[in-house]
Each structure stands twice: as C-alpha cells, then as structure tokens.
Amino acid sequence: MTSLFPMFMKLAGKRCLVVGAGKVGEPKIGSLLETGALIQVVSISASQQVEQWAESGKIDLQRREYLPSDVDGKFLAIVATASNHLNRAIYRDAQQRGVVCNVVDVPEYCDFFYPSVVRRGDLQIAISTAGQSPSLAQKLRQQLENQFGPHYAGWVAELGKTRRLILASDLDKQRKLKLLHSLASREAFEAALSELPELSAKV
C-alpha cells in the first residue's frame, strides 16, 4: 500500500454527502458539523440526533434511497450503510466523478481514513493506522489524552495571541524565531501553569 499523505483540511462551505444516518453515520455527520461543511444526508431512516440536526436546519436530510446523482457536485462523500452492494456502488459513483470517498470500516473503498484524534482547543493530534488497526489508534489516542490534558487548550490559545504580537513587532527575523521557539518549550508551559492555579491543579 502506498503511503498516506497526512493533512488537516478546511471544509467550511464545501458540499459533502453522507449516505446513512444510523448509529454509524451519526458520528460522521457530527464531525462534519464542526467544520462548517454544507451537509446533505441521504437515508431512508435516521437516528433521533440526526433528525434534530435536520429540524434545526444544520443539515439537509432527505429520507429516501440513494441516487447516483447525489454525488454530483460534492467535495467528499461518506458512506455508512449496512449494504455491501450499495457501499460499492456509491464508491464507484464517487470515483467516476472525482469525489473523495470513505466507506466506513471498508478500507479498500476509502480514499481517506478517519484518524483517532486528541482535541485540545486548536491543538489536534491525529493517529492513523491506515485502516489496519483502529483499536491500536484508539489505544494510542487514550494515552495521548492523558499526556496532553485539557490545560493545553488555553495554553495554545495564548501562544497564538503572543505569536501574532511577535510577528507584528519590529524585531528582526532571527529574534522573532528565537522567541517563538522559546515560548513553545516545556519550561514556558510549566511557567504559564504556575501563574494559573486553576490549570495547574489539572496537570
């Protein structure tokens, strides 16, 4: 298998299709909602949560069978049905139209894989085994969640503010780089925590 290219992609305003709205499709829809994507969901039935998202206007839920034309004009497609035949058909339709596709839990019908992700505000750490062992990716995520606690969210936000100030300053390039690297050190992190007792207690 060729190596995968790791990346974090902006989906805001992109048209995305999800086929299937049950217990497998629901979390996939939820993850897309966080990105600001324009989500069309096609499914004969839907979970209660998906129904609520549709009622609030967060997604376009169409309660019907899938049609090949559903893939037209989409940026990506996620397939979460219980039918192997339908999964293969949708993947084929997506391939013919140049739409990147993920058939959940079927690696051979995936152009991309969902990583296990540790989220701490703007800090995201993604782990992938290219579909070989989702269980291993999950275990590694749990380990990293313990290593990188909730306090990292606030620290990363502060680093972002400070970085913008430094870049906008009149300091020379080398001085700016030195400051930015020093601010991202473990020592700087521990010093920041010492000034924030409510965060230190969580370390």
pLDDT tens sequence for the chain (203 residues): 578 888 899 999 999 999 999 999 999 999 999 899 999 999 999 999 999 999 999 999 999 999 999 999 999 999 999 999 999 999 999 999 999 999 998 989 999 988 888 989 999 999 988 878 889 999 999 999 999 999 889 889 988 998 998 898 888 999 889 888 888 887 877 776 665 544 444 33
Q: Are residues 121 and 172 in the same domain?
A: no
Q: Are residues 97 and 43 in the same domain?
A: yes
Q: Are residues 23 and 102 in the same domain?
A: yes
Q: Are residues 41 and 5 in the same domain?
A: yes
Q: Are residues 74 and 100 in the same domain?
A: yes
Supply the pLDDT for residue 202: 39
Supply the pLDDT for residue 186: 75
Supply the pLDDT for residue 162: 87
Supply the pLDDT for residue 193: 64
Indicate the number of domains in the chain: 3
CB 33 within 8 A of CB 11: no
* Enclosing domain of residue 157: 151-200
In this structure, what CATH number is given to the domain that contains residue 129?
3.30.160
Give the pTM.
0.76
Q: Are residues 31 and 81 in the same domain?
A: yes
Q: Are residues 101 and 6 in the same domain?
A: yes
In this structure, what CATH number is given to the domain that contains residue 32?
3.40.50.720
Q: Are residues 58 and 88 in the same domain?
A: yes
Q: Are residues 136 and 155 in the same domain?
A: no
